[in-house]
């Protein structure tokens, strides 16, 4: 009876797509409507393995990344940062539309299933927020995405071991080289024994220069991580 009541209630007061406000009636339309979902552009081009910028020389660094050391073994970006993805991430982060983690997490799973990725993943770790930022926002969007991925991949999600100990300036306000300097030494692994020898999926929402993911990867490698896939929904501009 409860299921019948829910169906009737949804017919009268339907759930709506958070992006376009269309009613969600079609099968599978639990979070985004089919029209908005169809507009998501997967990133299938070869990319710089440092910053994930589309790049035609496979397994190479772009001009801006040459000379920098990257600590992750692979970087994977699921989609192009266009209007649909930009608005979805913004709603997740700033409007608490946490249900969007499910379709966005599905994008990450689709991307991580590509044949050139690491076969075995032992652990998913979200890029952590500093406690001050976490209190202000109320949640960590990368953690919500990591939990969605962990559930689908049937792997544990570690949320308290890699921590951000340094309150840094906003990366979005800084130039490229300043971002790497700003984030240096900002993270700490509390219990290295839980990291040692593990293949790790390191998850964030948006990658721009790779500075934050790279510093997290450096910290995890120093704690004994075997391999690290750095992953984001999209590459920022």
What structural domains does the chain harbor?
1-39 (no CATH), 40-235 (3.40.50.2020)
- Residue 236's pLDDT is 78
Q: What is the pLDDT of residue 27?
A: 63
Q: Residue 123: beta bridge partners?
A: 200
Per-residue pLDDT, 45: 79
Q: Are 50 and 210 in contact (CB under 8 A)?
A: yes
**What pLDDT shows up at residue 49?**
87
| pLDDT tens by residue, the chain, 237 residues | 445 544 444 555 568 888 998 888 766 666 888 899 999 999 887 888 899 988 777 668 888 898 899 999 999 999 999 999 999 999 999 998 988 998 999 999 999 887 667 678 999 999 999 999 999 989 999 999 999 999 999 999 999 999 999 999 999 889 989 999 999 999 999 999 999 999 999 999 999 999 999 999 999 999 999 999 999 999 876
What integer pLDDT is reported at residue 173 of this predicted model? Answer: 87
Closest CA to 55 of 65, 42, 45: 45
pTM value > 0.85: yes
Q: Which residues contact 228 (CB under 8 A, 6 or more apart)?
A: 71, 72, 73, 74, 199, 200, 202, 217, 220, 221
Edge-first strand listing for the sheet containing 123-126:
74-80, 227-235, 199-207, 123-126
Taking each helix axis from N to C end, the angle separating 141-153 and 83-94, rounded to the nearest 10 degrees, works out to 110
Q: For residues 8 and 58, what is the distance between their CA atoms, to the nearest angstrom?
A: 52
């Amino acid at each position: 009876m409860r299921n019948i009541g829910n169906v009737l209630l949804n017919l009268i007061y339907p759930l709506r797509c958070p992006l376009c406000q269309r009613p969600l009636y079609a099968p599978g339309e639990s979070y985004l409507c089919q029209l908005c979902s169809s507009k998501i552009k997967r990133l299938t081009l070869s990319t710089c393995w440092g910053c994930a910028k589309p790049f035609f020389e496979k397994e190479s660094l772009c001009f801006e990344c040459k000379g920098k050391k990257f600590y992750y073994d692979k970087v994977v970006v699921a989609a192009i940062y266009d209007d649909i993805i930009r608005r979805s991430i913004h709603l997740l982060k700033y409007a608490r539309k946490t249900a969007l983690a499910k379709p966005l997490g599905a994008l990450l799973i689709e991307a991580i299933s590509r044949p050139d990725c690491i076969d075995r993943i032992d652990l998913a770790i979200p890029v952590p927020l500093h406690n001050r930022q976490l209190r202000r926002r109320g949640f960590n969007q990368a953690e919500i995405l990591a939990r969605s991925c962990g559930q689908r991949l049937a792997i544990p999600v570690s949320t308290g071991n890699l921590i951000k100990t340094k309150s840094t300036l906003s990366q979005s306000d800084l130039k490229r080289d300043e971002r790497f300097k700003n984030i240096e030494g900002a993270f700490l692994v509390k219990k290295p024994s839980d990291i040692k020898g593990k293949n790790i999926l390191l998850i964030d929402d948006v990658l721009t220069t790779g500075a934050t993911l790279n510093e997290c990867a450096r910290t995890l490698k120093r704690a004994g991580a075997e391999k690290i896939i750095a992953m984001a929904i999209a590459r920022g501009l």
